[in-house]
Structure 1
Amino acid sequence: MAMGRPREFDVDKALDLALQVFWSKGYEGASIADLTETMGITKPSLYAAFGNKEELFRKALDKYVDGPGGYFQVALAKPNIRAVVEHMLYESADAVTGPDHPPGCLAVQGALTCGDAAESIKQELVARRAKGEQDLRERFERAIAEGELPEGSDAADLAAYLSAILQGMAVQAAGGTTREQVRKIAEMALRTWPPPPDLATV
C-alpha cells in the first residue's frame, strides 16, 4: 500500500498564483482563504507543500526577486554606471506598471500594511531592501574608483537617493499612475544624475 498520495497540483504554478495574491493584497491583506481559493488547493495542501503563510510568502518573494524583480541584478552587471542607472530606472518603471500582474512592487507593497503580527515579515522586507541599497552603494563605490562619477561623489547618498526613487515609483504605480507617467519620473531622475567627470567640467 502506498505510503501517501502524490500532490495533485503543480507546486510551481500554485506559487505563481500565491505571488499574485500577495502582490495585490500585501502580506497581511492576503488571507489563507484568498490564497487557497486562488491557488485552487485546500488549506491542508497549502500547509503540507509550503509550511505556513509566512513561509509561503518568503517563497513567493524569492520567486519575485528572480522573476519580475530580476532587472535589479541585471542592471548592476551593466558595464558602466550610466547604463546601470538607466536600466534600473526604466526597467523598474515597466515592472511596476506591467499589465500582466498587479501594479507596484511586492517588496514595497508587502511591508506597507504590516502590523505587529507580521513584524518578522516586515523586518525581512526591510532587510532585503537594505541589501539592495548596499549592493547599489558598492556598485557606486566602484564607479567612483574607476572615475565614472565626479570626485567627491558619495556612494551611500547616491544609493539612498536611487532607492528612494525606485520605491516611490512603485508606490505611485500601486496608486494608479500610468507607465508613461512613471517613466517620466525615471527620466527626471536621470536628468539630475551626476554626469561623468569629463562632461561635468565642460
Structure 2
Amino acid sequence: MPRNKEFDYDEKLKIARDLFWKKGYNATTMNDLVDTMQINRSSLYLAYGNKHDLFLKSLSNYIQKKDKQYSQAAKKSEEPLQAIRNVIYSVFESAVQDSNCLFTNSVFELALTDKEVSDILRKQTLKAVELFEKLLVQAKANGSLSSDKDPLALAHFLVSGLVSIYNTHILFADAKLTKQTTEILIGSIK
C-alpha cells in the first residue's frame, strides 16, 4: 500500500519558490531546499524531481502569481491606458514590497544558458506583451492614445520596462528612484 504524502505539495512548492527567489538558482543547494522545505531528500525527489525540475515548477508557480497580479490590476479600470498604468504601478508596488523578482533574476541568471527557463520566460513575456498590445490598440481605437508608435513595439518596450523597475529597486533600494523610473515608463506611453 502506497504511503500518503506527509506534506502539502503546493505549500512546499511555495517555500522552494521563495528560496529560489531570495537566493537565485545557482546559489540554492539541494541541502538548502531540504532544510528550508523541511522534507527529506527522497521525498523532494519523488514529489518534485531534481533541483532543475523543482526550479522550473517554482518559476511557473511564480509566473502564475504574476499573471494573476497583472490581470487583477488591469481589470481595475475599463479605460485601457489606465489599465496599463495599473499594471505598471502594481509592478512598482511589488518591487518596493518584495525587493526582488524571480522572473527578473531568472532572465539575468539563466535565460542565456538554460533553454527551458528561457522558453518559460519568453512565453510569459509574450503573454504580457499581448495584454499591453490589446490595451494599446483599444486606446488608439477610442482616441485616448494618439501616439504614432506601433502598439506591438510599444507593448514590448513597456514589458521590458517592467524589468527596469525591479532592476532599479534591486540595485539601489530607493523607493523614490524606483517611483521615478515607474513614472518615466508610464510617460513613454504618450
Identity of aligned residues (%): 24
- Cα distance, 1:116 vs. partner? 6.8
Q: How many angstroms apart in 2 are the aligned matches of 1:166 and 1:59?
A: 23
TM-score normalised by the chain length of structure 1: 0.81
- Give 1:119's match in structure 2, choosing from 107, 115, 133: 115
2:118 is the counterpart of 1:84: no
Q: 1:141 aligns with which of 131, 137, 143?
A: 137
Instruction: Give the match for residue 108 of structure 1.
Output: 104
User: Structure 1: which 5+ residue stretches go unaligned?
Assistant: 195-202
More helix by share: 2
Q: Is the alpha carbon distance of 1:116 and 1:67 closer, same or farther for their aligned partners in structure 2, counting shifts above 3 Å?
A: closer
TM-superposition CA deviations, 1:44-102 (whole Å, max 9, x none): 1112112333332233223323335632122333311231122112110111221xx4x
Unaligned runs of 5+ in 2: none
The whole-number CA distance in structure 2 between the counterparts of 1:115 and 1:191 is 29
Query: For residues 167 and 5 of structure 1, do their structure 2 counterparts lie closer, same or farther at Cα, with a shift above 3 Å needed?
Result: same
Partner of residue 24, structure 2: 26
1:1-202, aligned counterparts within 5 Å?
A: 3-67=1-65, 70-77=68-75, 78-98=77-97, 101=98, 103-114=99-110, 118-150=114-146, 152-194=148-190
1:40 CA displacement: 0.9
- Once residues 95 and 182 of structure 1 are traced to their aligned partners in structure 2, the CA distance between those partners, rounded to angstroms, is 11
Q: What is the TM-score normalised by the length of structure 2?
A: 0.85
Query: Post-superposition, which runs of at least 4 consecutive aligned residues in structure 1 deviate over 6 A?
Result: none
CA RMSD of aligned residues (A): 2.3
Which amino acid is the alignment partner of residue 183 of structure 2?
E
Closer, same or farther: CA 117–164 of 1 in aligned 2, 3 Å: closer
CA 1:117–1:31: 2 relative to 1, 3 Å: farther
